[in-house]
Amino acid sequence: MQLDLSVDRSSPVPLYFQLSQQLEAAIERGTLTPGSLLGNEIELAARLGLSRPTVRQAIQSLVDKGLLVRRRGVGTQVVHSQVKRPLELSSLYDDLEAAGQRPATRVLVNTVVPASPEVAAALGVAEGSDVHRVERLRLAHGEPMAYLINHLPPGLLDLDTAQLEATGLYRLMRAAGITLHSARQSIGARGATAAEAERLMEEQGAPLLTMQRTTFDDTGRAVEFGDHTYRPSRYSFEFQLLVRS
Amino acid sequence: MQLDLSVDRSSPVPLYFQLSQQLEAAIERGTLTPGSLLGNEIELAARLGLSRPTVRQAIQSLVDKGLLVRRRGVGTQVVHSQVKRPLELSSLYDDLEAAGQRPATRVLVNTVVPASPEVAAALGVAEGSDVHRVERLRLAHGEPMAYLINHLPPGLLDLDTAQLEATGLYRLMRAAGITLHSARQSIGARGATAAEAERLMEEQGAPLLTMQRTTFDDTGRAVEFGDHTYRPSRYSFEFQLLVRS
DNA sequence: GTAGTTCGATTGTCCGGACATACGCATTGA
DNA sequence: TCAATGCGTATGTCCGGACAATCGAACTAC
């Protein structure tokens, strides 16, 4: 069966976006089977009453997502593999919620402290100047899963403990109008210290998964510096990444 | 000082690519300072004798890389933060070499084995069918750094031990004409088993950083399944990621 | 039978233009 | 003084067309 595509020119949604969404839905649904050709752009454009650049823009966005592959002289094919999450900058909270785990958060510290040298360097503020410090214990199914320490520059966000327990830090930032842009991450492992072990209900020296992250907004400001420890039996970093070409 | 940009129309290199490379170089060099406006597209196009779509294509590619930010009604600005590696699918070998560590590889196993259930599922082959198995010890400065176990489907590549010791697996694949497309990764941690501990010169139960990865080519075939363990004192995963918008 | 050639198909690149939309700022009004 | 309005500017979207580059397959010649 042919795919029935259509665009609504009266909609404020861009035409290329309407098209790319329909194509993506068709791929997701299985109407467009992996490996199948998409049909050439010219004819597709004519069929929809669109110009070729518009159709190309729609297709290109799906190529960037890794769903399609174009080959000159051949055509555009649906990629065969199962593409899922292309590693977006997501919060642990969102990850857990997406996995249907109904995460719980216990805010243990929410205060203002002088910046340590490490924090000051990461956030780009003066050493000893005031920064927010938040420590949270993230639980799933009543069991501790991760211990999250975050530092934020002052005046960026008023951190309400109740809100922090109800949702993730990134959501609060986005809601406050902060446009997240990029983050530098470092993932490692180490043995748990006595304090860490107690917080996560592990034994001292037990292997922990660690992640340090500095997040920047689109003006280049550091908006968050996180130092997280995860129980490896409960959590691992899963993601899909694409080859930049 | 104004930026001196120019394009060579006789070159086979696409014009938009020439432009984006020059802009990227100028950002890298510091000629285009963070936060500075890039000047509007129309005028830039006129100055270079290019059309606006071509200039837009060049700028867009840098936006996708996270180097620029566009704001409607405002202009295009250079991002202020230090963007480095947007997490490409790279081999450990390339990573180490880029860090100037002159990695050494010792191939311990290079043979054909029947596929275990886990390997068969990852590679999409029948359980018990022949697959290549490679075990390598990666060293830096004479010290073991990671233990790499890889399985490959048969007939894809003839794995020469000498070549494996001289370069990375991904390079061999690319050289064999395989177009890498995407990979699913899982990063975790666990205590070292007795065998792992001995291989990496650690003690039993010492925390190890682990990574499992299945790599796909652009036809969706699984071309590699890797099960790696790293010494966390010697290695951690460092990368930068962008917010998909 | 095999190697080289030609040719159709399809995407890649590029152009010049048009109108829409959103942001920042100055002006205007209460 | 402060909020609402209007305007200039820049990017966002879209069009229709042209030619080049590349791939695969059919065809041809040896």
Of the pLDDT bands very low, low, confident and very high (cuts 50, 70, 90), residue B119 is very high
CA B50 to C1' C25 (Å) is 31
Q: Is the pLDDT of residue B87 over 80?
A: no
Query: What does the alpha-carbon distance between residue B186 and residue B228 come to, in Å, rounded to a whole number?
Result: 10
Note the pLDDT of residue B16. Answer: 95
For A122, phi then psi, to 5°, come to -65, -40
Secondary structure of residue A132 in the 3-state scheme: strand
**What nucleotide is nearest B60 when CA is compared to C1'?**
D11
Note the pLDDT of residue B140. Answer: 83
The residue that leads in pLDDT, B16 or A139, is: B16
Query: B14 and chain A: CB distance < 8 Å anywhere?
Result: no
Of the pLDDT bands very low, low, confident and very high (cuts 50, 70, 90), residue A87 is low
Query: What does the alpha-carbon distance between residue B49 and residue B26 come to, in Å, rounded to a whole number?
Result: 20
- Calculate how close chain B gets to A182, using CA atoms only, in Å: 4
User: CB within 8 A of A68, min separation 6: which ones?
Assistant: A23, A38, A59, A62, A76, A77, A78, A79
- Return the top range by mean pLDDT from A21-30, B88-97, B110-119: B110-119
Q: What is the mean pLDDT of residues A50-54?
A: 94
Q: What is the mean pLDDT of residues A187-193?
A: 95
Query: A182 and chain B: CB distance < 8 Å anywhere?
Result: yes
Query: What does the alpha-carbon distance between residue A11 and residue B9 come to, in Å, rounded to a whole number?
Result: 40
Q: What is the mean pLDDT of residues A46-75?
A: 91
Nearest residue (CA) to C1' of D16: A51
Of the pLDDT bands very low, low, confident and very high (cuts 50, 70, 90), residue A119 is very high
Of the pLDDT bands very low, low, confident and very high (cuts 50, 70, 90), residue B82 is low
Query: What does the alpha-carbon distance between residue B110 and residue B164 come to, in Å, rounded to a whole number?
Result: 10
Amino acid at B185: Q
On whether the CB atoms of residues B155 and B221 are closer than 8 A, the answer is no
Q: Is the pLDDT of residue A149 over 90?
A: yes
Of the pLDDT bands very low, low, confident and very high (cuts 50, 70, 90), residue A179 is confident
Amino acid at B40: N
Conformation bin of residue B177: beta by default, left when phi > 0, alpha when psi is -120 to 50: left
pLDDT in tens, B233-243: 988 888 888 87
Residue B47 Cβ < 7 Å to strand D: no
Secondary structure of residue A68 in the 3-state scheme: strand
Interface test with B, best of A77, A81, A219, A225 (most B CBs within 10 A): A81
Q: What is the mean pLDDT of chain B?
A: 87
Dihedral of the CA atoms A73, A76, A51, B51 (nearest 10)?
-60
Chain B hits for A53, CB-CB cut-off 8 Å, are 53
Query: B25 and chain A: CB distance < 8 Å anywhere?
Result: no
Residue A169 Cβ < 7 Å to strand D: no
Burial code (b: 16+ CB inside 10 Å, e: under 16) for B202-219 equals beebbbbbbbbbbbbbbb
**pTM of the shown model:** 0.84
- Going by the DSSP 8-state scheme, the letter that residue A10 receives in this structure is T
